[in-house]
Structure 1
Amino acid sequence: MDKSGLHTPSLHYGPRLGEALGLEDAPAIVTRTLGQSEIAVTDLQIKKPSGMLSAALPRIDAFMVTLVMTDAAKNCYWEDGRHVSSAPLQAGQILISDVRREPRVLMDRVAHSVLFYLPRAAMDALADQAGAPRVDELQYEPGAGISDETVKHLGLSLMPAFRAPDQSNRLFMDHVMLAFASHTLQKYGGIRMLSKPIKGGLAPWQERLSKELIANNLSGAISLEEIAIACGLSVGHFSRAFRKASGLAPHAWLLRARVESAKVMLRDRDASLSAVALRCGFADRSHFTRVFTKLVGISPRAWGNLTNE
């Protein structure tokens, strides 16, 4: 517990959140795109509802944004120990909750949701990077569903990563989570613009260095934060400037770098697709084939045969 009387984060994402809700499995994605602040998202599936209120989680200075994946005729919602809403929910809507108010729901139905965790420290870091006033409260109606296509599609884009974590890359996760945090502060925190418009993108040395760092880490293990620091920029500034300079988001440029590296190896007639896939940072042969075919238009084997004719 910190000096404000609030608990430090412990049960607000991942397996420990699942355990608190009585779930056997709760896969999570955690990124640190804003200093050491953790932004996380958890895939929650209630298959055996208890019919009871969810457990009271420790109060911390953070918000939870829940993407609803299944319809509900009513969503019985509590804050600070009192019932505040039984509003119906539709799949694709979001709910916003202030963890300081001890949000709880009645677990009376089979349900699926994707829960984003946004701590105060991450909100403050993002506002500070933008030179904007810090946001104290988010504007929302407790327990009411909100139509938000941006959060909906960001959440849906993460589903393949939950199903096959070995086929996701860190740059993509960082990109999605930063987009989620930026959008949330803009739409519900009142920040109008998170940075000055970027006119020239990256300086030549920054573009060269960032591409070298990505190309030398085809596994995707290097984070957006590490690349941004090397370029002397904030994560948000770097991400937008890189897109301005290269025409692609960092994670998309990484995929193209993997494919270009694979093309060099495919010129060797004896190279196996599995070996090329692993050396170029793909999870396996099928992942490699899928990405290569999407970007090049033909399969890697067909490309290799044409090139070596």
Structure 2
Amino acid sequence: MAQSAPFGQRLGKILHLKDAPPTLTTRSLRSLELAVTETRNDDPEPGLSGSLTAEDAFLVSLKLHDYPDCELWERGKSLMKADVRAGATYLYDLKHDPRYVIDKPFHSLFFYLPRSALDSVAEQPGTTRVDQLDCQLGMGHDDEVIRHIGASLLQGLRRPDETNQLFVDHMMIALTAHVAQTYGGLRRISKLPRGGLPAWQVKRACEKLESDLGGTFSLQLVAAELGFSVSHFSRAFRTSTGLPPHQWLLRRRIDTAKQLMRVRDLPLSEIAIAAGFANQSHFTRVFSTMVGVSPGAWRRGAQGAPD
């Protein structure tokens, strides 16, 4: 069912936030919207949260702040109280109208996963369909994978101009598959082929990725160029190159920047944009992390090296 507003805006409204919270979205599974949103209010006005539209979809929430004695509601009734712990993962079925009493500061990440996205993951060869997620009210899960994905996406939410779409696609698809397997009983009934792409397909995929160093292309678009599903393409590309598409693109950005610093006397700010980075600060941070020295220091060393 079509929604009248983006997920982050709707979630912000039911949590009584003054502004729409930061949100990242992907449409790389059946062109469905998957989203992650950071919600925070250090001084909330007490009251019951609102309701999201009842639909066949789930919320997966990574709590970033303790919330003791949380009063939980479903289907219009107060059912229990539970201590919510920072670092724990909770699952909610939107068909059950999950709500809670807002009376303390809160800080969480919410992942929006429509049922159709879980079905799409289960349509891969050799897998079974997800029947139902383990959405036990008040039950927190110690999930290291979701904490890792959440921490990675939290940086993207806070620096949206520096976050490329391939990275968001990769992380959200990985989260969907993990949730389906861990909480939905998804299992493989046969081994998937693990071969990589033929050389001509690797070349074509790399050319497509390199034509958009800024990373605005989606995984779905790149996979469609070769006639593959997103999951098959990502797996085969990684087998062939040793890297998932978003990391391959990041390496290519660094290589492009090095070439520009070797052969052209350009300001670092212009090199940053030409190599697909959001700005010089973004370029410096990523380059220093991956190469071990700042771009300026690397350039001085390269220019001083003998031909």
TM over 0.5: yes
The Cα shift of 1:194 comes to: 8.8
* 1:242-263: CA deviation from partner (whole Å, max 9, x where unpaired): 1111111111111110011111
Structure 2 distance, partners of 1:89, 1:282, is: 38
- Matching of residue 44 in structure 1 with residue 20 in structure 2: no
The Cα shift of 1:181 comes to: 0.2
- Matching of residue 31 in structure 1 with residue 29 in structure 2: no
Match of residue 143, structure 1, among 133, 138, 141: 138
The Cα shift of 1:36 comes to: 1.3
Question: Which deviates further from its counterpart, 206-215 or 42-51?
Answer: 42-51
* 1:260-308: CA deviation from partner (whole Å, max 9, x where unpaired): 1111111235211000000111011121112122222222222222222
Structure-1 residue corresponding to 2:197 = 202
Structure-2 residue corresponding to 1:5 = none
Q: TM-score, normalised by structure 1?
A: 0.93
Percent identity reads 44
Question: Which deviates further from its counterpart, 14-23 or 254-263?
Answer: 14-23
Structure 1 distance, partners of 2:174, 2:189, is: 11
8 Å CA contact 1:11, 1:58 repeated in 2: no
Q: TM-score, normalised by structure 2?
A: 0.93
Match of residue 14, structure 2, among 13, 20, 38: 20
The Cα shift of 1:46 comes to: 2.1
- Matching of residue 107 in structure 1 with residue 111 in structure 2: no
Deviation >6 Å, runs of 4+: none
Q: Secondary structure at the match of 1:86?
A: strand
The Cα shift of 1:10 comes to: 4.2
Match of residue 228, structure 1, among 219, 223, 226: 223
Structure 1: runs of 5 or more not aligned: 3-7
Structure 2 distance, partners of 1:103, 1:164, is: 30
Structure-1 residue corresponding to 2:289 = 294
Question: Which deviates further from its counterpart, 243-252 or 177-186?
Answer: 243-252
Question: Which deviates further from its counterpart, 187-196 or 150-159?
Answer: 187-196
Structure-1 residue corresponding to 2:164 = 169
Structure 2 distance, partners of 1:154, 1:294, is: 19
The Cα shift of 1:35 comes to: 1.8
* 1:188-210: CA deviation from partner (whole Å, max 9, x where unpaired): 11111398434322221221111
Structure-1 residue corresponding to 2:72 = 77
Structure-2 residue corresponding to 1:65 = 60
The Cα shift of 1:87 comes to: 1.5
Match of residue 128, structure 2, among 120, 133, 142: 133
Call closer, same or farther: CA 1:226–1:138 in 2, change over 3 Å: same
Q: How many residues align?
A: 303
Q: Secondary structure at the match of 1:221?
A: coil
Structure 2 distance, partners of 1:96, 1:56, is: 16
CA RMSD of aligned residues (A): 1.7
Question: Which deviates further from its counterpart, 112-121 or 83-92?
Answer: 83-92
The Cα shift of 1:12 comes to: 7.2
* 1:129-160: CA deviation from partner (whole Å, max 9, x where unpaired): 34533323112311221111111111111111
Call closer, same or farther: CA 1:130–1:200 in 2, change over 3 Å: closer
Structure 1 distance, partners of 2:5, 2:44, is: 19
Match of residue 270, structure 1, among 265, 268, 276: 265
* 1:41-68: CA deviation from partner (whole Å, max 9, x where unpaired): 1111123322211012210110001111
* 1:87-112: CA deviation from partner (whole Å, max 9, x where unpaired): 21211101101000111011010010
1:217 partner amino acid: D
Question: Which deviates further from its counterpart, 30-39 or 199-208?
Answer: 199-208
Q: Secondary structure at the match of 1:76?
A: strand
